[in-house]
A and B are shown apart, each in its own frame.
Chain A
Amino acid sequence: MDETVAEYIRRTVLKIPRDEIKTMLEKWGLLSETQLQTINFRQIKESISQDVVQLCEENSVDIKQAAVLDIIYNHVYPNKRVWCVYQMKKTGEEAEFFDLTDFKKKFKGRLRSALKNVTINFREYEDNAIWIRIAWGTPYTKPNQYKPSYVVYHSQTPYVFISASVLKSNLPLLCQALVLASNYHDIREMELRSHSLNSLKDIVFKRYSQNFQTHYPRPLQERNVAPKSADLRIIQENRNEKERIERVNREVFGDGPQPKLEFAQYKLETMFKSDPQMDVLDKKEPFRCLVKFSSPHLLESLKSLAPAGMADAPISPLLTCIPQKARNYFKIREKKHFFPESFVSP
């Protein structure tokens, strides 16, 4: 077995938390039951990884098989990577039957014809998700296994989730290969990025709890009727206002948990509006400004702003439209009308 393969397996095993190593190796399936039983999983990770490498030597594991362990790790811990969402477009309307072997062949063919040195792995999961791992090389160097790109494609949908490696130059080729292999016509990047792959899926597949405009208003429900120890000496003067805020919040955000995003970024290309007497910026050109909101869980924190008394309800639609518009990177330009308000570009 090649030294590089041994080192790669060792480093991959070291990434896995100690309690998960046995289950992942079983899923991997490259070591037999008897071989697995010889490993002491209670020793330190360094020793475990060396034992695993030893056993892989016995089985003559190659780099493509080793890469499968990496896919398994990333499938269990997808939130360690940043995922971007892409949408593919079809010209015709017919829903063609998806042939997995055809897809794989075309995908590999397109990549290999452009780049000789690539390692490509496919793995299918129950929810119709196809995970693709690509390690990129150049015409003169072997593929870099430590900076792979990951693609998650749900074949029944036009959406692709890509976690690009740092080597961004390979992105156009990757997109080309995807479009060709899946019989689509075009691909575009939706301005939607996050660490949480499941939340991105929730947003584009509309799986989060949205609030639909009902024709019949909901009857007033008595939620949290009385506080736990209602001290009668403390009187809430603005109870109606508090209830209004709760109601507006529920209408905007829905009842369920919000998808997990970490950022919202607004690129402003609007004119600076100052007091005409001050005459700041005599050149009438757009004032470039970038506003970035960051949070461990952005949408939940926006939802809790009004009840916590930090903002007025309802919150600006620029913030609340994020799940519906399925984007968290916006460009705001001037509205070319009589009204001086700005609008969000499509």
Chain B
Amino acid sequence: MKASLDGSNQSGEKMAAMDELPLVLVHALPPFEISFKGRLQSRFQLIDSLDSTFAPHVSVLLCVGPSPVSSDTLRHLPSLQCIVGSSAGVDHIDLAECRRRGITVTNAGPSFCEDGADFAIGLLIDVLRRISAADRYVRAGLWPMKGDYPLGSKLGGKRVGIVGLGNIGSEIAKRLVAFGCRIAYNSRNKKSSVSFPYYANICNLAANSDILIICCALTKETHHLINKDVMTALGKEGVIINVGRGALINEKELVQCLEQGQIRGAGLDVFENEPDVPKELFELENVVLSPHKAIATPESFASLQELIVGNLEAFFSNKPLLSPVNLE
């Protein structure tokens, strides 16, 4: 059993007086950990185990990375009122149980949206213009030997379908307008403040797009949202970029479509069973693969840290949370 963070071991835990620092359970399954424990320890009393004698009194859980918060986890925490998440996605949290118990959930809010958008666009231009493949070609010494690299495809004028027009999707749309792309989107609901064409049906969006960029939340409804039908509707010249969650796409069908040339190519930051990547993809020149790092810059993590501290402080001072997730 790991030592609790006040330095004493489990059997010698000190009971916190009610007027000491507020209690926060740091829920971090290995290998996930937070880099700013010191900063938190100056304002909060941290415990790190569901079996701690303090667990029944804990009102806030800080969820580190995708450490799962299941109904079993929640059963250990009868006083829990809030889960402060540290990622854009909340698919690792039993939201139905949170809804039932009235537990609020926060996520990374806008911390990651610029970097996520930048990376999605980097992946997109890479797939269309074959950047990684051409860089490999040069590094292998093939330019003097085999001559010019095969032509890519122009981005300007292409129709981009954004699946999920949230924080990240909006930033992607804003950037792509400057490249001369035509934007349309699919979302749970039409956004009245947005002028881009809305498609309620994902196959219709695909049929009217050259490119699909997947950046929506993973839920029961969106699991395997992108399947063979959607890819067929997208067509042989179509490109798929995924910076959401691996399970948004039926990975087996994606691999088949790519192998058979049913779509032009794909840029993938996420996979169904990370860090495992279907080995068939390693044989393909028309995919760009990334190890789930679209949002990983020092700036986004600094911004996340501020947000997490801000959410914790807002909770304990009864102020509105900074980045609450709508659980409906």
Q: Determine if chain A interacts with chain B.
A: no
**Which B residues fall within an 8 A CB radius of A?**
none
- A interface residues (Cβ-Cβ under 8 A, vs B): none
